[in-house]
Amino acid sequence: MSAALVAGLLAGYGIAVPVGAVAAHLVTLTARSSLRTGVCAALGVATADGLYALLATLGGSALAAALRTVIVPLRWASALLLATLAVRGAAGALRRYREHRTATRTAPPPPSPARAYLALLGLTLLNPATLLYFAALVLGTHATAPSDRAVFVLAAFAASTSWQLLLAGGGTLLGRALTGPRGQLATALVSSGVIMLLAARMAAAPG
């Protein structure tokens, strides 16, 4: 069981720590909203990682093989969603900046915690590489006992949760440090640029 615990923790951090489009979106979302919204969004990401870990332990290589048949359309759907997020984020930042300068309208409210949770859950679930990653790890650890598989899934979920909450906390600090309209505009545009580049790289990846 201890081996499954260590394997689950390593798996969770292994898939969560690399900074990608989801992480950039999470930090920016928290910076322009609140810690509560960021925590809910972080839990959405961790929930998706936990679900994929569970699917991998239940189905293993069979699920991974089935997913490979649809990995290209899933990757394109994910790239399209990321590109949409990037465009909307940049356009919204520019609009809020102009509205602040003219002071004729108030900025639109940030998403609710529940909406942030569902949005980040859906975005993370669109990444099929997560399931392939967990399936490979499960097959490599040879964890067959139900208790070991349960420990693996819970440990992976806990690891992902801790990292996503750390990112949300970083977004809160960023939001407090850059409270001015120019600072918010700059961070939003940088984040949108990073997300767009990652979307383009995902779309250009070989099938």
Reported as a single tens digit per residue, the pLDDT across 161-191 is 998 998 888 888 766 665 456 666 776 677 6
Q: How far apart are CA 177 and CA 179, in angstroms?
A: 6
Say what the pLDDT of residue 37 is.
Answer: 93
Cβ atoms of 170 and 164 within 8 Å: the answer is no
Q: Considering only CA atoms, give the Rg of the chain.
A: 18
Q: Sketch the domain layout of the chain as residue ranges.
A: 2-204
Interval 119-130 mean pLDDT: 80
Query: Which position has the token pair 């598989």?
Result: 149
pLDDT interval class at 8 (50, 70, 90): confident
The DSSP secondary-structure symbol of 204 reads H
- Whole-structure pTM value: 0.65
104 confidence band (pLDDT: 50, 70, 90) = very low
The answer to whether 55 touches 131, Cβ cutoff 8 Å, is: yes
| Most confident residue range from 25-39, 74-88, 172-186 | 25-39
